[in-house]
Amino acid sequence: MSLPGLTQLLVRLLCILAGALALSFFVTKGVLVPIGQWYEMNRARNESDLSQAFIVALAAQALCAVIGGWLGNRLFCIWRQKRLDRR
């Protein structure tokens, strides 16, 4: 693998990682934490309810990480295509 190919691979992986981390962070801080606090204070009756809510939140965060990684990959492809079009 040549050096330009290796750097392109590293940039693509960084874009995927950045997208996954960014989307999961924003969804966690903006959606999951407020809903979790509301649920804990108003609806949860025991530890089992909190455990189930925690599992749902983990699943939602994992899904957001996958979607964010996909978005990061799409942004990389769009950036690369624009860069190739300029040449």
- pLDDT value for 5: 87
Q: What residues does each domain of the chain span?
A: 3-86
Which tokens in the block code for residue 41?
A: 């204070």
Rounded CA-CA distance 81/23 in Å is: 23
pLDDT at 3 over 80: no
Yes or no: say if 60 and 12 are a contact pair by the CB < 8 Å rule: no
CA 21 → CA 9, 34, 58, distances in Å? 18, 19, 14
Q: Which amino acid is at 86?
A: R
Yes or no: say if 76 and 18 are a contact pair by the CB < 8 Å rule: no
- Express each pLDDT in 38-62 by its tens digit: 999 999 999 999 999 999 999 999 9
Please state the pTM of the whole predicted model.
Answer: 0.88
- Find the length of the chain: 87
pLDDT at 2 over 90: no
